Structure 1
C-alpha cells in the first residue's frame, strides 16, 4: 500500500502551557461523531521543526485510522508563544507534551484511557521522556528517535570514528 505524502490541514487550535499559548492542528477521523469516544495521539515534531511538517503528516494518517491526533508547535517555536524564539529546551519540550495531553483530556470525544504519544527524531526522545512520568499516556512510539540530552552531553555518536556512516551502513546490510 502506498501512503499519501500530502495531507489536509487539521483544525487550528490553541492550548495553554502555564502562561504560554501553544498552537496546534487537530486531526479528526473520517465520519467524526462528536458524541462518540475516540483514542487520541499527541504527535511531537523534530527539533527545529514545526507542526505543518512531518508531525502533521503522521497525525493526518493517524486520523484516517480512527484516532483524534494533535500535532503542535513546541513552545518558543512556530506559531506557539515563548521567548527566546527557536529555543530547544528538552525539559520544556517534555512539558509541552504534557500540556498537549492536558488539552486532549478536555475534549469530550477523547477517551482518556486511550491516549498515546509519538514523536519524530528529537520529538521521539522527548516523548520517551514524557511517558516516564505522565501516566495518562498509555502507549508511545518514536520515529527515528534521537536523545537530545545524550547528544548535548556526549556529542553526536560516531563522529570521532573515521568513515562512521559507511561502517554503520555495512553493519546494517550485514544484519
Structure 2
C-alpha cells in the first residue's frame, strides 16, 4: 500500500485516479450532480424529492452542500430538518447523500455538506482534518438549514456517519439546537489515530506524535506539506487487507463508489489535533434523545459500545443493531440501509 508523506501525494492521487476501473470512474460523470450512490436523483421533478446544490461561507471558507427537499415541501411550510455529517474520507455525493435522499423521501428537509478543506469545499491546506473543523462544519450546516425557507428551526435533528458520527456526538454535547441525535457506524477518529484501529498502535503513540510535530514544523517553515493516508491501492493490496473496515472501505471509496473529490489523505500536522481528541469525552453533556446504529458484524462496533455507555444523561437512548451488517455495508447495501432508514425515520418522527 502506498503511504504518501509529501506534497507529491496530490499529484499521485490525480495520476492514480486513472487506474480505477472505468465503470467506477464514470459513475460520477453519469449523474448531473455527480452522485455515485444507487437510485440517486438525476433531475428535479414536481411532487418528488428534489436536490438543491448550495454554497455558503463558514468562518470565511466557502462550503458546498446539497439540500434535499421532500415531495410535500413548500417554502411556507414548517418542515423538520436533518443535518448529515459524512464519513472520514467521504463526501456529500456518497453514503451521506444516500441517507439524505432517503430521509427526504420520508418527509424531511436534509442537508449534507463537504467538510471544510475537503471535497468541493474551500480551505487550505487541502485535506486538513482537524476535529474542531469537522465539529464546526456540523454547527455550520445547522446555521444554514435553520434559515432555509420552509424549515422550522426548533425541529432540527442530526445524523453522523462513521467519523461524522464521532463529530456529531461532540457537536451535540454543546449545540442544543439538535433535538434528536443519531449516529450510524460511529467511528472515533481521535481514538483510532491515537491508539490505532482496535488499539493496535498504542506502543508507537509518542513516535507518531513526534512525526506529526515535525510535519507541523515543516509547514510553519514554508516547506512541503506532509500527508498521511492512502493515495491509491491495488486490487491485490485490497484483497490482502485483513480488517473488514479497511478492505471494504477501499473497495467502496476506490472502486464501487469512487469519486475524484473523495480521498484518504490528510495533512500530517492534523495528527496533532486528532491524536489528542476523543469523541467520547464529555458524553454526559448529551441530554437529547440519542439513537446509535451499528452492524452486528462491524469490527468498529466497539466504538459505538463505548460511546453509548458513556451517554448517561441521554434521553430515551437506544442502541439499534443491524444483524449481519459490517461497517461499510451500512453505507450502501439495500437491506441494511432500509433497516437503518426505517429506524431513523421513526426516531425523528417521535422526537421532532
User: What's the TM-score bracket when you normalise by the shorter of the two chains?
Assistant: 0.7 to 0.9
**CA distance in 1: counterparts of 2:243 and 2:148, whole angstroms:** 47
Does structure 1 retain, via aligned residues, the 8 Å contact 2:192–2:199?
no
The unaligned stretches of length 5 or more in structure 2 are: 1-36, 43-50, 202-241, 245-295, 302-322, 324-352
Counterpart selection for 2:118 from 59, 68, 77: 77
Counterpart selection for 1:142 from 183, 187, 199: 183
Aligned to 1:123: 164
SS at match of 1:131: helix
Q: Normalised by the size of structure 1, how large is the TM-score?
A: 0.86
* Larger strand percent: 1
Does structure 2 retain, via aligned residues, the 8 Å contact 1:119–1:125?
yes
* Larger helix percent: 2
Task: Please report the RMSD computed on the Cα atoms of aligned residues, expressed in angstroms.
Answer: 2.4
The unaligned stretches of length 5 or more in structure 1 are: none
Deviation at 1:26, TM superposition (A): 0.4
Does structure 2 retain, via aligned residues, the 8 Å contact 1:48–1:86?
no
Counterpart selection for 1:65 from 106, 120, 130: 106
Counterpart selection for 1:92 from 126, 133, 136: 133
Deviation at 1:31, TM superposition (A): 2.7
User: Per-residue CA shift, 1:39-92, capped at 9, x if unaligned?
Assistant: 001111111111000000000001011100001100011110001112221110
Stretches (4+) displaced over 6 A? none
Aligned to 1:7: 40
Q: Is residue 2:51 matched to residue 1:31? A: no
SS at match of 2:89: coil
Q: Quick check: which has more Rg, 1 or 2? A: 2
**CA distance in 1: counterparts of 2:197 and 2:127, whole angstroms:** 20
Does structure 1 retain, via aligned residues, the 8 Å contact 2:72–2:107?
no
**CA distance in 1: counterparts of 2:93 and 2:149, whole angstroms:** 25
Q: Is residue 2:61 matched to residue 1:20? A: yes
| Distance change (3 Å), C-alpha of 1:156 and 1:14 | same
**CA distance in 1: counterparts of 2:80 and 2:147, whole angstroms:** 13
**CA distance in 1: counterparts of 2:177 and 2:57, whole angstroms:** 18
> How many residues in Structure 1 have an aligned counterpart in Structure 2?
165
Aligned to 2:280: none
